[in-house]
Structure 1
Amino acid sequence: MSSGFRQPAFRDELPPAADIIGENPAPRLTTMYRRIWFETMHEMPFVNTALSVEALGFQRWQPGNPATTDPAAALLDGHPGAAAPAPAGDWIGAVITPWFINVFLLPGGGSLWSDRRRGERCWLEFPIGPLEFIADHDPTAEVATFQYCPLFAPPSEFSSQTAARAAALAALAAMFEPLPGAPRSAAAPSTRKPGSSRRAFFRRISQG
């Protein structure tokens, strides 16, 4: 047996370079997951029918800069994702569905995004510390390429859309708040262990 690392029998090919998304992606994500809900997910036994599909809190963010908008401002006038974006940076926001609540990263021209194979995991640095994201790619979908950080799957603990929305916005806010004593620049190399950052992240969500 070779002493080298064993390679998986199958790996997805690296997808084409993702197109930069210039406009707030929340409407496209909402359309995509509503379609998935009606086509394939609505009869699944683990879904939470108290929840509906909603993309919210999307803003552009660049490592090393402060968050450009308050995530809650993305609910202006009752329209998810209505806040005006900053001129540069990749898109960060949340998506609620009856079967998951996740934070999403989409390419907006910033330095946080990098093209990755479907299913590939990576740790990305935020003010709270490194958080793990998973790449996905479907060239036939309304949003072909994105990365996501799982929050709740399935989101069975939520009794209403209001509660799910509050948890999603709390997660977004927590990402941009450094831990006590940590440097405020997200561009600085992290000395924090990924696991500790993730635990702190979920503690802040639960306290939100």
Structure 2
Amino acid sequence: MNERYECGVCWTVYDPAEGDEVGQIPAGTPFASLPDEWRCPRCDAGRERFLRLSEPPPAGEAVDVETRLDALLASYRRTRDTSIRGLPIDNPHLDVEAVGFHRDGDAWLGVLITSWFMNVVRFPAMLGAWEERDEGEVVERTFPSGTYDFTLSRVAGFGLLETCSLISPMGAFDDPAVVRAVAEAALEEIEREPEPPPQATTRLSRRQLFGRRGHGGERAREP
């Protein structure tokens, strides 16, 4: 089995084709054959924190947005269930949801709701499009309403995405329907074209209107 696994803590990938030099695991060792005491070579997390990586389509192929969203939600639900549940930042009234995702140039844009934050999220519309970028990179994205900072990160079991924080934590909410409405309103506001400034209007009196000079420099006669 050549399936790769990714650490859910630090995103280190275990590739059977390479093995693990730190743990003295020879190349060609499947993940299932790793010893029980084996741990992540970067963050020392146990085997149970690793998630299987599905084989991505070839780079340059358009993503299926529903499949990608399913993977995104599944990843954050695992994080909630294994790391967030029971902490003060966790809001048990809320689930992990995706709201309003649609194409935004070369990416998909929408709002990700979890029990501990709400973010605007972008991820590439083409597989492998962002692999050359550095995690932690902050980039300015311009929308009709203004310019916003997005941070690039890698999510275990999903891949690269950009996030712009809206709300965290989520303790002020107890109704998922209200949270969805807030997410929709935030997305609409970001993409709303600004109102044009009101045009100044000057009301001229009859004397001002007819008393202006004509092209020849003579004052126009009043009727």
1:161 matched to which residue of 2? 176
Measured against aligned partners, the alpha-carbon deviations of 1:163-205 in whole angstroms (never above 9, x if no partner) come to: 11111111111121122238xxxxxxxxxxxxxxxxxxxxxxx
Give the unaligned 5+ runs of structure 2: 1-58, 198-223
Give the unaligned 5+ runs of structure 1: 1-16, 63-88, 183-208
1:179 maps to amino acid: P
1:104 matched to which residue of 2? 121
Measured against aligned partners, the alpha-carbon deviations of 1:66-123 in whole angstroms (never above 9, x if no partner) come to: xxxxxxxxxxxxxxxxxxxxxxx410011111110111000014xx979532222121
1:21 to 31, 45, 63: 63
Distance 1:146 1:19 in 2: 17
- Pairing 1:50–2:65 present: no
Distance 1:115 1:99 in 2: 30
Alpha carbons of 1:143 and 1:42: their partners in 2 closer, same or farther (altered >3 Å)?
same
- Pairing 1:128–2:149 present: no
2:164 matched to which residue of 1? 149
- Count of residues paired in the alignment: 137
- Pairing 1:177–2:220 present: no
Distance 2:73 2:173 in 1: 19
8 Å CA contact 2:130–2:160 kept in 1: the answer is no
TM-superposed CA distance for 1:41, in Å, is 0.8
CA RMSD of aligned residues (A): 2.6
Distance 2:96 2:119 in 1: 12
Higher RCO (CA-CA < 8 Å; seq separation 6+): 1
- Please report the TM-score for the alignment, with normalisation by the length of structure 2: 0.55
More helix by share: 1
Distance 1:99 1:18 in 2: 33
Alpha carbons of 1:181 and 1:18: their partners in 2 closer, same or farther (altered >3 Å)?
farther
8 Å CA contact 1:27–1:55 kept in 2: the answer is no
Q: Which has the higher Rg, Structure 1 or Structure 2? A: 2
- Please report the TM-score for the alignment, with normalisation by the length of structure 1: 0.59
SS at match of 2:78: helix
